[in-house]
């Protein structure tokens, strides 16, 4: 199943942020940033583009009991437009995993945990974030579970700085990504029945923008923590 989780205006904004980051990296403004997080500079572009373009791909894993679903259009949550895919003869909500918003961030988070040995900090930070996100997540008809777009990034920033100033950039990415996926998406799966969403994508519609912005925030945070 292929469709972008956010409507065109937000998608263009994310592309603009992506291009801006790449330009800053290429002119060496953020040359230190991803190395601070624990990723070699030559992989920055590939990871960012894979996350953004990967949001177009949803991998189905489960189907809820049959119900009438919505088809096409746009649903708004805190002013952010989310796309409702066009479907025909679609009997029920399909639970899917978003490639760019769930698979890529999960593997990258696990890599950062192992590389930076952030086992305890990641466990505590992700648990705190997941509890917060669980209570802030909102079921949106036609879309699934949604979060205010800036919440994951800001919460991840605060938690990571409190737990470990030195390793805050990597920790911010881990906490923001895994905390959102667990707290907003996975623990709220029971609320999807009756929303009429054709596809409820883990890490997709409703949460992808927050997860992607968390990655950008982690880069920016690292760039401001250069050694003197």
d(CA 91, CA 12): 32
Per-10-residue mean pLDDT, the chain, length 228? 66 77 64 66 75 87 69 61 62 85 92 93 96 91 83 89 88 92 91 79 82 77 58
CA distances from 119 to 59, 124, 148, 214 (A): 29, 9, 28, 20
Quote the mean pLDDT of the chain.
79
Q: Do β-strands 94-98 and 199-202 pair in parallel, antiparallel, or remain unpaired? A: parallel
Please tell me the predicted confidence (pLDDT) of residue 186: 92
- Cα dihedral sign, 192-194-196-198: positive
CA distances from 115 to 22, 108, 110, 119, 120 (A): 24, 10, 9, 10, 13
- Cα dihedral sign, 2-141-139-157: positive
Q: Report residue 71 as tokens.
A: 């088809």
Please tell me the predicted confidence (pLDDT) of residue 146: 86
Please tell me the predicted confidence (pLDDT) of residue 47: 80
The candidate with the shortest Cα–Cα distance to 51, out of 96, 15, 1, is 15
pTM attached to this predicted model: 0.80
Please tell me the predicted confidence (pLDDT) of residue 228: 44
Please tell me the predicted confidence (pLDDT) of residue 133: 94
Contacts of 117 (CB under 8 A, 6+ apart): none
């Amino acid at each position: 199943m292929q469709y972008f989780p956010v409507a065109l205006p937000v998608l263009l904004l994310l592309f603009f942020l992506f291009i801006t980051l790449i330009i800053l990296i290429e002119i060496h403004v953020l040359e230190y940033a991803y190395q601070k997080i624990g990723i070699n500079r030559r992989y920055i572009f590939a990871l960012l583009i894979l996350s953004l373009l990967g949001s177009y791909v949803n991998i189905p894993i489960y189907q809820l009991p049959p119900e009438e679903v919505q088809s096409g259009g746009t649903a708004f949550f805190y002013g952010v437009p989310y796309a409702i895919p066009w479907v025909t003869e679609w009997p029920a909500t399909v639970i899917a995993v978003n490639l760019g918003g769930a698979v890529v961030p999960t593997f990258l988070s696990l890599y950062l945990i192992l590389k930076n040995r952030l086992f305890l900090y990641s466990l505590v930070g992700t648990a705190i974030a997941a509890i917060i996100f669980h209570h802030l997540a909102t079921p949106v008809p036609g879309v699934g579970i949604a979060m205010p777009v800036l919440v994951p990034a800001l919460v991840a920033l605060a938690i990571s700085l409190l737990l470990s100033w030195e390793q805050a950039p990597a920790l911010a990415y881990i906490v923001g990504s895994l905390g959102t996926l667990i707290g907003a998406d996975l623990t709220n799966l029971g609320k999807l029945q009756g929303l009429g969403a054709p596809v409820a994508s883990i890490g997709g519609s409703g949460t992808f923008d927050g997860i992607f912005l968390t990655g950008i925030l982690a880069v920016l945070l690292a760039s401001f923590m250069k050694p003197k």
